[in-house]
Amino acid sequence: MKSDFPVLEPGWTAQEEMALLEAVMDCGFGNWQDVAYQMRTKSKEECEAHYMKNFINNPLFSSTLLNLRQIEEARTADTAIPFKPTDDPPRPTFDSLLSRDMAGYMPARADFMEEFDNYAEWDLKDIDFVDDDSDILHALKIAVVDIYHSRLKERGRRKKIIRDHGLINLRKFQILERRYPKEVQDLYDAMRRFARVVGPIEHDKFIESHALEFELRREIGRLQEYRRAGIQSFCSAKVYEHVKHVREDERRKRTMLVDVLQYIQDGRACQQWLSKQAAIDAGITPVVTTITTSATGRRSAPPLNLTGLPGTEKLNNREKELCQVVRLVPGAYLEYKQALLNECRRQGGLRLAQARALIKIDVNKTRKIYDFLIKEGYINKA
């Protein structure tokens, strides 16, 4: 966004207005020399005249402050305050489940067990104002007290945000968040940092409006899909949705079967897999059986499918074949290969026992990787 446009009067851009307010906050009201030094674009006379004209003697601000003062006086007038019975606030014991859920908040005291900036009072505990203090020491003590007041204001501001937005019980707040779709939850996380700027009602309205927009867009997309499919009634739309789900389930099952048949060219293995899938669809826990042969005992596992795995594009054809046979993902293979190459380069050679001590995996896999790297000339025997 651009901020080089005037706001209150010509010659002062919006960026300079914000810089002036920040400088007065940092340096203090009346310290125009330091304010101008921090501004760097205006003199101290210009800073003082502009600030006094627009922020102190501004009739608009004066009337606003007067209205606020009148409202405060009316609110605190000497009138009878009506009382009504209320529920007794919960008093969770220390370190109980309810106390942890409420982040240590004590409703009866409206305080937390551990406050923000919990040790702010430590800087004041040894301060004592005596008559024989020098002017510098007295001013220093006053500055420490002012700093403590600013820290108390920040503590109160944070507690007000927590109370207004209902953030004390975090678990309940997270449950409310989960009722939104995933896209709206991501927006909620992104906009949470701005909740301190706007009030809780405005923030909730903003999120709810975006949730409504998301629902409307999704509904419009669904209606557009019906229109493209030639559907003209909601009754036909229900039939279309049912057939669509059946078609997607069948396509997913066919894809799983093709992936299995691609590497298992064995009738018994395919039959076992089909029986297992049928048991899963029926809600029965499948019985896992091991297919063995009379000559070799346990059948070896099928080759690993490297499709879509990270690092596959960095392997040559022989390395891909090794990873498929050894059933090792490309990322792990590249890490082990680099470790063996570094160790071989450092020692001038590498033995199988050193390779096994370096990469903690199955010894048979380590031997195959070691023999492959020796055969391809990546490393040499010690």
CA-to-CA distance for 24 and 30, rounded, in angstroms? Answer: 8
Beta 297-298 vs 111-112: how paired, if at all? unpaired
Least Cα distance to 151 among 127, 189, 119 occurs for: 119
List the domain boundaries for the chain: 14-78, 172-225, 234-278, 312-376
CB hemisphere CA count around 3 (13 angstroms): 7
Label residue 190 by pLDDT band (50, 70, 90). Answer: confident
Average pLDDT over residues 102-116: 75
d(CA 164, CA 379): 66
Q: Do domains 14-78 and 312-376 have the same CATH topology?
A: yes
Backbone phi and psi for residue 125, each to the nearest 5 degrees, phi listed first: -65, -25
- pLDDT tens digits, one per residue of 115-147: 888 888 888 888 888 888 888 988 998 998 999
- b/e code 197-230 from CB counts within 10 Å (16+ = b): eeeeeebeebbeebbeebeeeeeeeeeeebeeee
Note the pLDDT of residue 84.
Answer: 55
* Least confident piece of the model among 8-22, 88-102, 152-166, 310-324: 88-102
312-376 to CATH, choices 3.30.930.10, 1.10.10.10, 1.10.150.20, 3.40.140.10: 1.10.10.10
The answer to whether residue 294 scores a pLDDT higher than 50 is no
Topology (CATH) of 14-78? Arc Repressor Mutant, subunit A (1.10.10)
Q: Residue 201: what pLDDT?
A: 83
Please write the tens of the pLDDT for every residue from 249-261: 888 777 766 656 5
Burial class (CB in 10 A: 0-12, 13-18, 19+), 267: exposed
Counts of helices then strands in the chain (DSSP H, E):
15, 4
Of 225-229, 259-263, 360-364, least confident by mean pLDDT is 259-263
Tokens of 242: 């049912």
The contacts of residue 204 (CB under 8 Å, 6+ apart) are: none
pTM for this one?
A: 0.35
Angle between helices 363-376 and 317-326 (to 10 degrees): 170
